[in-house]
């Protein structure tokens, strides 16, 4: 009698998937009239009395009152998560607008009038740069808080704040350091091709082949149920085969971009997010003397005749 042989049979299913390559001011701060350095009244615009010059003590208190909200706003902006960046940047702009407007209404001690003007002017320029960066964030040209600050540093809007703050502080021991975070230069960090960011258990028989024909690196995320089962880095113009994919139905997400920030879990510039409109089902079937399973091949680039529609994903909905 011939002993039956156990045959391993694989059905290879190649699926071409398409992806895109995108990408109020507050109340014025014024010192108490009785604490004014000068009791005289000088005519201001329209014949109204000019604001009284603040004492050093009141001026220092006014600087502190503006400094705190600016520092706190920049700290929150610098938090690295991709999710909620637009909201954080908007809150930063609003908080700085209020604080700078307060500083602009002050009449500082006469000996620091020039330094005060330089300091407030530098803050106003930084505020303008952050406000302009909101459009870059909406367009997903800039994708993390640190990258926003790197951008304004690159156009020279942080250094003047530091210089003018130091010059003013030296004249009266004033606390003017409003930039509480370290800002790095623009970088282009990349992981090796095929580096697993999340590996999970890979004890299955099947494989998933990923082909990235784009001009940007990619991170592909396989989600099974509500769990990120696999996250893998695929460099531009490269491919990688994820082996040992376990049985189950997987949603496939991807992000493309430049400069991978591992702490933020995302690209810092030119980022795009999406997922494929069809889940991939991996299934192993035992039929008598045979074992059958399916492999899949995914192309991370728009191709003619792609059979699966692409669904755009908001940055906050991407399972990074």
- Predicted local confidence at residue 82, as pLDDT: 82
pLDDT mean over 153-182:
95
- Predicted local confidence at residue 274, as pLDDT: 87
Nearest to 190 by CA among 243, 133, 145, 238: 238
Confidence of residue 302 (pLDDT cuts 50, 70, 90): low
Pairing between strand 238-245 and 227-234? unpaired
Kind plus residue range of the DSSP H or E element containing 222 = strand 217-224
pLDDT tens string 238-281: 999 999 999 999 999 999 999 999 998 899 999 999 888 889 99
Question: What's this model's pTM, rounded to 2 decimal places?
Answer: 0.79
Tokens 């889940």, residue located: 279
pLDDT mean over 79-103:
92
Q: In sequence order, what are the residues at sequence separation of 6 or more whose Cβ sits closer than 8 angstroms to the Cβ of residue 107?
A: 50, 51, 52, 53, 54
Pairing between strand 290-299 and 7-12? parallel
11 exposure class (CB count in 10 Å sphere: 0-12, 13-18, 19+)? exposed
Tokens 């909620």, residue located: 84
pLDDT tens string 115-149: 999 999 999 999 999 999 999 999 999 999 999 99
Q: What is the C-alpha to C-alpha distance for residues 231 and 260, in angstroms, rounded to an integer?
A: 13
């Amino acid at each position: 009698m011939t002993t039956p042989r156990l045959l391993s049979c694989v059905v290879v299913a190649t699926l071409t998937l398409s992806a895109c390559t995108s990408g109020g001011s507050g109340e014025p701060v014024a010192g108490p009239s009785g604490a004014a350095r000068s009791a005289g009244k000088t005519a201001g615009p329209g014949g109204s009395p000019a604001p009284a010059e603040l004492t050093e003590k009141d001026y220092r208190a006014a600087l502190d009152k503006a400094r705190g909200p600016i520092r706190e706003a920049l700290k929150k902006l610098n938090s690295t998560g991709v999710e909620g960046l637009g909201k954080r940047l908007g809150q930063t702009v609003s908080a700085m607008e209020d604080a700078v407007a307060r500083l602009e209404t002050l009449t500082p001690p006469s000996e620091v009038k020039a330094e005060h003007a330089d300091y407030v002017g530098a803050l106003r320029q930084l505020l303008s740069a952050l406000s302009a960066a909101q459009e870059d964030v909406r367009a997903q040209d800039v994708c993390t808080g640190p990258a926003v600050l790197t951008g304004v540093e690159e156009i020279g809007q942080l250094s003047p704040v530091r210089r003018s703050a130091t010059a003013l502080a030296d004249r009266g021991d004033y606390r003017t350091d409003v930039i509480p975070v370290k800002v790095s230069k623009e970088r282009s960090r990349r992981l090796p091709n095929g580096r697993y960011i999340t590996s999970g258990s890979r004890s299955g028989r099947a494989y998933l082949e990923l082909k990235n024909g784009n001009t940007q690196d990619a991170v592909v995320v396989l989600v099974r149920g509500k769990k990120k089962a696999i996250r893998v880095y695929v460099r531009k113009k490269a491919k990688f085969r994820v082996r040992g994919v376990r049985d189950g139905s997987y949603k496939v997400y991807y992000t493309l971009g430049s400069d991978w920030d591992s702490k933020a879990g995302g690209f810092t510039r030119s980022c795009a997010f999406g997922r494929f409109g069809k889940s991939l089902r991996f299934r192993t079937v035992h039929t008598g003397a045979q074992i059958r399973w399916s492999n899949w091949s995914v192309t991370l680039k728009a191709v003619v005749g792609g059979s699966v529609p692409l669904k755009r994903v908001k940055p906050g909905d991407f399972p990074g």
